[in-house]
Amino acid sequence: MQEYLATNWSDETFVLTANSIWMQQGRDWAENIETDFLSPAEEFFKSELYEADFQGNPADAIAKINGWADENTNGMIPQVISELPPETAMILTNAVYFEGKWEIPFEEESTYEETFHGNSGDKSVDMMHQYGEYYAYIESDGMKGIAIPYKDSPLVMKLFIPDISKNPDGGDIEALFAALDAAEKEALLDSLDDVDEKEIDRLVIPKFTMEREIKGLTEILQAMGMKEAFEGTADFDRIAEDLYVTQVLHKAKIEVDEQGTKAAAVTVAEAAGCAMVEEKIPVVFEADRPFIYVIQDTRTGMILFMGRVSSLE
């Protein structure tokens, strides 16, 4: 992570990551908290340290944390928290901001309204078009996948749609993706890194902006096995005694248009006391129905953003 945060990004495509620790002023902390926690957090994660009065002036603390999120996501996420439990002792915040210009931009004159067949019904939306460009492309597990690179970087957006030729009813991308286990999902993503580029006769993807807030992330993490951190038996004694995580919040936003993509995410953790042809077959990739997208660093395999578009307004 330390190495990744030191990446020398270009002006066209870059990832900004910021971390901060907010501590209750006047609270008793572990004697060696500086060497055991604060210094490593700064060294490896470039974490900034702040004091706040969660108990005495929660409104001011909330304003400062939201201001931090706003500044570190270039205004895409101006608010990540609206209230604080009275027992809050420490808050850890992480913000990621991504901005990438397509290696081959979409022409604005080739954007026009077409129907997106969403889960909540058909909707006429602005769809971007390209013709005859070359991209990494696969057909696998009843899906089509494509990787659209960002300029001057190892970052790509990978999109997956149902292969209509194998799903006459249109297909359900969520079900197709969910049917794969973790290793198969990883292999699907990786397969787009190892194939030769193909000429895509017609590429169609919608312009879209999506924002998502996950308030139940605590329960999701517990279901994944991270349980002790949320209980009174949690051992954070190198930070402070009787400390445990009360909740984890996550908020993300993404904007996709002809020039590229902007995306941001903020995660907040609160702690309290106690993937030879004789005749050319046209290759068409039309994301005119629900699809899954992944913004990934092909150099490291790190997934920066991942989501699905089920409906568009």
Domain boundaries, the chain: 2-100+209-273, 102-208+276-309
Write out the CATH class of domain 102-208+276-309: mainly beta
Tell me how far apart the alpha carbons of residues 206 and 295 are, in angstroms, rounded to a whole number.
Answer: 16
E strands in the chain: 13-24, 47-52, 88-101, 112-118, 121-130, 133-140, 143-149, 155-162, 197-200, 202-206, 208-214, 243-256, 260-273, 284-286, 291-297, 303-309
Tell me how far apart the alpha carbons of residues 239 and 236 are, in angstroms, rounded to a whole number.
Answer: 6
- The label of the residue with tokens 């009174």 reads 232
Segment 60-85 shows an average pLDDT of 91
pLDDT band at 277 (very low <50, low <70, confident <90, very high): very low
Q: Is 243 helix (H, G, I), strand (E, B) or coil?
A: strand
Residue 291 near residue 150, CB atoms below 8 Å: no
Segment 42-67 shows an average pLDDT of 91
pLDDT above 60: residue 28? yes
What is the DSSP code (8-state) at residue 219?
H
Summarised one tens digit per residue, pLDDT across range 81-108 is 888 887 888 888 999 999 999 999 999 9
- Which pLDDT value is given to residue 276? 42
Tell me how far apart the alpha carbons of residues 213 and 80 are, in angstroms, rounded to a whole number.
Answer: 9
Segment 280-302 shows an average pLDDT of 90
Burial track 68-83 (b if 16+ CB lie within 10 A, e otherwise):
bbbebbeebbeebbee
CATH architecture of the domain with residue range 2-100+209-273: 2-Layer Sandwich (3.30)
pTM for the structure as a whole? 0.88
